[in-house]
Amino acid sequence: MQFLFLFSGPLKLQLPSIHCSFSSSIHLSIHPSIHPSIHPSIFLQLSAMLSFAALTLRLGSTGCRGGRRNLATVVSGNKTSQLVRERLKEDLDKMRGQFPGFRPGLVVLQVGDRDDSNLYISMKLKAAAEIGINANHVRLPKTATEDEVLRRIVEVNENPEVHGLIVQLPLDSINPMDTEKVTNAVAPEKDVDGLTSINAGKLSRGDLQDCFIPCTPKGCMKLISQTGTSVAGKNAVVIGRSKIVGAPMHDLLLWSHATVTTCHSKTTDLAAQVGRADILVVGAGKAEMVKGEWLKEGAVVIDCGINHIPDNSKDNGMRVVGDVHYPSAKEKAGFITPVPGGVGPMTVAMLMENTVQSAKRFLKTYQPGKWNISYTKLKPQKPQPSDTAIAHSFTPKTIGRLAREVGLFSEEVEHYGTTRAKVRLEALNRLKTQPDGKYLVVTGITPTPLGEGTTTTTLGLAQALGAHLHVNSFACVRQPSQGSNFGVKGGAVGGGYSQVIPMEEVSLHLTSDTQAVMAASSLVVDTINARVLSESTQSDKALFDWLVPLRDGHRKFSLSQLNRLKRLGIEKPETQKPEEIYRFIRLDIDPETKTLSGSVASEMMAVLALSTSLGDMTRRLARMVVAYSRKGKPVTTEDLGISGVLATLMRDAVKPSLMQTMEGTPVFVHTCPLSDIAQGNSSILADQIALKLVGPEGFVVTEAEGGAELGMEKFFDIKCRSSGLHPDVVVMVATVHGLKIHGGGPAVTAGSAMPKEYSAENLTLLENGCSHLKRQLENARAFGLPVIVAINTFSTDTDAELGLVCEQAKLAGALEAVPCSHWAEGGAGAVALGQAVQRAAEIPHQMNFLYDLEMPIDDKIRAIAKSMYGAGDVELLPQAQQKVALFSKQGLGNLPICMAKTHLSLSHDPERKGVPTGFTLPIRDIHANLGAGFLYPLVGTTSVPPQSPAFSCFHDNDFSTESK
């Protein structure tokens, strides 16, 4: 019989032949069988007198007279671990008070399905749930390879919501596993098990405050401290040298100033070594190897062993024991941990403590919703060097580093060298529950031949928001084509100190998206030519055998061919009748009706920019009408059987390309549809991913090419309809010299000297040009959003001129007008613009579309012409009238309109600057871009595709092999 008594204060006990004095720190266990003269009723009376459990009364202690020596004090891990858990709950309450909604994250990664591992994991998950830690169990099958395990570890390492990662050992896989390699793959700052070489090295050096201590040794130290024993100066013996228990236990005791001896299976005088130990920690994994008679009297014994030995009295025939023979050891030790119930609960508690500790370290640098990103400090030079010289004076950070800074995982980034990368669309799926950030669209007045700087302003504003106002900011710009690169405006994206770098990489091939589009377009053209030739020279049987070869007695139809058969109403492809075969194989294409060129300005680029996923792009490519039959029936890429291969050619091009500005802010450079014949905006996917990455307090700055009446109108009525995204603010870019041109100034010729009117103050000319700014502001405000005017300044601008533009802009309805010097100063020159944008984004607004999709085709065209261009009316020429009737009959009347108009004037005449009004807008034809999903009327003499730049800069882009 054993009685357990707990005391709240000192106790003096006098019994026949026994006189014991005990303090409240003694845990007493009395065995009446040793003294049969003591009646059990005495113990019952005593128990009624005791206040609550704190100690166990044990027969005989130092100072006891007339009995056997003490039994060891049992050091229970259950009670101590519960105290630890209560303290951790309090810590988490404080964290949530400072960071509402924050929870430490823990992942337990398991390979296989071992029963013992499952038991340990369930204990860990239960403890985490009790404390308030968000714990997840990731289980990989026994068939998992080492590479799969390592990839999963990298995913967890990069997840900011996870602060602790445990790899459950052993790794139960049928494939070879390097345990050392796997455990070392865990990021040291998340290694709450303390098993990586980095944490072990720090522990061995004594850097206890800068590492994670393995959970079992850490728990052992807590239990030793519970005994009241001072470790300093004591002789400590550790049996076992494993990396999980023995080796780190040695280091912990050593740095706590004990004299430590490590023993193991090869130690010859083990009993003698144990006999000298004031503190003994055993973790050898051998059942009951340490005998009681080995122990030094009063020693502290910490038993880390978990072993199973036969025991017929147990239901399962097994009993759990430690590495110490408990019955004999408790007779000699001063303190001893039981098995189970000793070290085990403390190991789990220390795991939780390490996880909370990791979360605390994370919160020291954590700012809710903010990236942990580094920015480059600019030092603008005067006089300002060339764009090329400026770009070459900066060394961009590696693209992998930038990707990590903005919250992308390595598995989501495909590197193209060290400074550019593709971002996989899986990132968008991972972030789908993340709220979007603020959405800004940058447009401008109708551009003049030298450009107004919408791209430079887009980049400068993103730099100002990120590097100077310290909010997450992302710029999304179009990729320049080589044709425009070698035009008068130069070859980079942006200019001065607001550029994308490296400038050569972004301006030339980048990640080969334009090459993929050109290859796909050329494939369509070549396939049409080949099909026309084949149909004119081959019999039905030969053509059928060519299109669907007979192999092993069967014909295998491609997916696109099966879809064509379905549209034709042919249900049994293997048994077509001759007339069915004829209908299937004969497209009867009119060669004069090909709608694609082999250039980057084809519908392919518009499709790429408007796609919202790889699947969406594939479906859009299949719908593309690329020619017409001699009877006027549309021929799609699916009819040609090439829609699948087009998607294959463009499957990488659909991923946005990640680069950076000169100040280290992120940029997506993706797609380049032109505003005069297409929608003129960067891709939807770039905007969508960027909006998720910046978070709800961040900003995405995207650019709409051309003037507000063109690129911006298409941004709202086409791009926003496809994406479902609604912007918050419009930024309109204007320049003094551009407004002077619209005010009636002399023509500007590329490559010629600038007329003096643009370098000298001329308020009259400028005020006349402000009427054009007023018109474009009306266009922007028609969509229901606040508009900020950004005046892209030049050194020749005077204060009076800038003041006049600001005044006129506000009178015309701009919320604010801000002069900006981002070309000369980078983000610092656009800080005021960034602050104005932040204020504008807080204003409640409701975005409008310009027209309803259900309106008739000609009415939609008329709405755009009158509202955006200032036309008095439109004139649909006979061919355009025929197309309106045809498309309406085909059910295409509800598509949005993409006007193919010159970008150099509000009207259809590029020479008419300012604010032309009352003109009749001629529509000579209408085409259907069914893949892109819009109808595009051809206005006036607009060419499709547009002509190459009138002034080429080939001589400015010579390549030299000379070292620099």
Catalytic site residue 126? no
Cβ(35)–Cβ(67) below 8 Å: yes
Q: What angle do CA 422, 423, 429 make, to 5 degrees?
A: 155
In 629-673, the DSSP E strands lie at 634-636, 657-661, 666-669
Amino acid at 955: H
C-alpha to C-alpha distance for 498 and 701, rounded to whole angstroms = 14
Cβ(95)–Cβ(355) below 8 Å: no
- Residues 670-704, buried b or exposed e (16+ Cβ, 10 A)? bbbbbbbbbbbbbbbbbbbbbbbbbbeebbbbbbb
Length of the chain: 964
Residue in the block written with tokens 């994406």: 723
- Residues 82-92, buried b or exposed e (16+ Cβ, 10 A)? eebbeebeebb
- Residues 808-825, buried b or exposed e (16+ Cβ, 10 A)? bbeebebbbbbbbbbbbb
Count CA atoms closer than 13 A to 51's CA, side-chain side.
Answer: 7
φ, ψ for residue 14, nearest 5 deg: -125, 120
Helix (H) or strand (E) segment spanning residue 273? helix 270-275
C-alpha to C-alpha distance for 396 and 381, rounded to whole angstroms = 19
CA distances from 211 to 124, 223, 244, 468, 956 (A): 21, 20, 15, 34, 56
Count CA atoms closer than 13 A to 333's CA, side-chain side.
Answer: 29
The region that residue 139 occupies, defined by phi over 0 for left and psi between -120 and 50 for alpha, beta otherwise, is: beta
C-alpha to C-alpha distance for 262 and 895, rounded to whole angstroms = 80
Please give the structure tokens belonging to residue 686.
């770039």
C-alpha to C-alpha distance for 426 and 448, rounded to whole angstroms = 40
φ, ψ for residue 859, nearest 5 deg: -70, -35
Using CA atoms in the order 765, 769, 774, 779, what is the torsion angle rounded to 10 degrees? 180
* Catalytic residue chosen out of the listed positions 79, 89, 124, 314: 124
Residue in the block written with tokens 């025929």: 882
Please give the structure tokens belonging to residue 593.
């009706």
Which of the residues are catalytic?
A: 124
